[in-house]
Amino acid sequence: MMDILQILLSESFWAASLRIATPLIFGVMGALLCEKSGVLNLGIEGIFAAGAMCGWMAVWLGAGLWGGVLIAALAGAFFGLIHGILTVPLGLSQHVSGLGVTLFATSLSYFTYRTALPNVSSPPRIEPFRALDIPLLSDIPFLGPVLFQQTAMTMLALLVVGLVWYVLNRTALGVALKAVGDNPDSVDAQGLSVYGLRIGAVMVGSALMALGGAFLTMSAFDAFFFGMVNGRGWICIALVIFASWKPGKALLGALLFGAFDALQVRLQTEVGAMVPGQVFLMAPYVLSIFALVVAARKAEYPRALLTPWFKGQR
């Protein structure tokens, strides 16, 4: 027990939690934006892979790090556009289209990587984002190392949470987004474009998802591997439900998952001799299923989620 307490009180544990949570924060904000407008985006897992590959590839080819971030976001928006066109004006099944985008984006990313680098045995590395060292802030005891010695992308993720919250709760655009996710007729009757709002939300949301992927290759690691997304996208879909479509709660959920993950790594080294390692690997997922069961029963779904809307049909 003392060991767990010691872990929970250590700076490095909380810093790791936030680091592990960062791609989830991007992903969960992206999924939340899409779903608030009424479109489930199961393309998330593939869009993570595309973001990871495109961001890394851009930097490897000579772009700056922020150039890579931008390219990754554009790649995400592109796959979002595909999903948006298929599900919004064409009204196809959001599940099928989303899974299709995941398969397509994942395969295309691997294919592009292999085509560009046919003969490498170990993945080439780039110079990734470095941990920040902000004068004064980084020197605050405990908070400094946890919050302000992260990379710029983690700072960006936290900024995105605030931004999404502000847009949804304080701007006319946010009101329109929430309306189109609840009853598209309300938006249409007031002269706004249902298609425009939904496709826009899916594109911006997908761009955020791609940033989650870019974090993996440009901040957490410095290279692109096959299978590196490893279900993070799916976790985000679950986290959105856990958060009942609220940005603040979504951030909390992502941090919680990050903390579970950081904890299991540390526990493994502490008591690994007694318990098989797989139990620890499994723990964050079991805990998130448990949290989901508790939270999802009370979740307030956007009423029009999954329901296509067609102009001139009422």
115 binds other proteins (CB under 8 A): no
Q: Which is nearer to other proteins, 165 or 221 (CB)?
A: 165
179 binds other proteins (CB under 8 A): yes
Q: Which of 157, 56, 196 is nearest to 112 (CA)?
A: 56
CB of 44 to other proteins, least distance (A): 23
CB of 27 to other proteins, least distance (A): 24
Beta bridge partners of 73: none
171 binds other proteins (CB under 8 A): yes
CB of 153 closer than 8 Å to CB of 130: no
Q: Which is nearer to other proteins, 105 or 197 (CB)?
A: 197
Site for other proteins in 287-306 (CB under 8 A): 300, 302-303
CB of 169 to other proteins, least distance (A): 11
Structure tokens at 41: 């985006």
Site for other proteins in 246-275 (CB under 8 A): none
Query: From the DSSP assignment, how many helices (H) and strands (E) are in the chain?
Result: 13, 0
Type of residue numbered 246: K
Q: Which is nearer to other proteins, 176 or 207 (CB)?
A: 176
Type of residue numbered 249: K
Coil, strand or helix at 59: helix
Burial class from Cβ neighbours inside 10 Å (0-12, 13-18, 19+) for residue 234 reads middle
35 binds other proteins (CB under 8 A): no
Residues that bind other proteins (CB under 8 A): 170-173, 175-176, 178-179, 181-183, 185-192, 300, 302-303, 312, 314
